[in-house]
Amino acid sequence: MNFNLLIKNLFSRCIGIIWSPKEEWIRIKEEDASFFQLITNFLLPLLLLIAVASIIGSYFQTDGNEIAMNIVVVSGLRPFLSILISILLSILAVNAMISTFGGTPDLNVASKLVIYSFVPGILIAIIFGMVPWLYILGLFFLYSFYIFFLGTPVLLNIPTDRQSNFSTLSSTTILVIYLIVSFILYSFFGAIKL
């Protein structure tokens, strides 16, 4: 794939899912992207941006010695792995819950719903990586749940009377998965720093 086209598609999808999520979900539903295409063409480039932003932000907070440089590399790995593992586990959890609420499980659809719903959180992680003291912007992560709620009726064939319960339970599950994975990885990487 052409690098310029990849960047253009990433940028337009991120803007679309944030500014006009209802219309963007309709476009997403019509696409025939597989789980692996979403991971390689959309998620991994954004996660690499998080890692680079975290490394740059940490570099400017260190004094340039060798021990500090190891911490800089670890600070780039931590959010990359935290979000990647959280998204992968969330996709599996959401896909498993679909049948409980009367829908047909589909890993590709569940991955679209989870990955694109994480866009506000990923963009916030990029900003936090560069400028860690802007924690108030973390509230923008809550917009991810709104995007998830909007995507559920468009992408999933869950009965209308169960969509709200599915969205609420899935959003809560995604949040718990993210918090647990983040806690474990931040504890692990924190121990490495010592």
Rounded CA separation 93/89 (Å): 6
Quickly tell me which residue has 């599915």 as its tokens: 166
pLDDT at 152 over 50: yes
pTM (whole model) above 0.85? yes
What local confidence, expressed as pLDDT, does residue 172 receive?
94
Please determine, for residue 6, whether its predicted confidence score (pLDDT) is greater than 70.
yes
Does 170 have pLDDT greater than 90?
A: yes
Rg of the Cα atoms in the chain: 17
More confident residue, 59 or 180: 180
pLDDT, tens digit (0-9, with 9 covering 90-100), for 64-115? 555 566 666 777 788 889 999 999 999 999 999 999 998 899 999 999 999 9
Tokens of 170: 């899935």
Residue partners of 24: CB distance under 8 A and separation at least 6: 13, 16, 17, 116
CA 62 to chain centre: 28
pLDDT in tens, 17-68: 999 999 999 999 999 989 999 999 999 999 999 888 888 887 777 665 555 6
Place of tokens 């780039």: 76
Q: Say what the pLDDT of residue 54 is.
A: 83
Residue 194 confidence (pLDDT) above 50:
no
Yes or no: say if 120 and 141 are a contact pair by the CB < 8 Å rule.
yes
pLDDT for 62: 67
Higher pLDDT pick, 129 / 170: 170
How high is the pLDDT of residue 66? 56
Taking alpha carbons only, the member of 144, 141, 113, 142 closest to residue 128 is 141
Other beta carbons less than 10 A from residue 166's beta carbon: 22
Q: Where are the domains of the chain?
A: 34-193
pLDDT of residue 83: 92
- Please say if the pLDDT value at position 190 is more than 70: no
In the prediction, which pLDDT does 38 show? 93
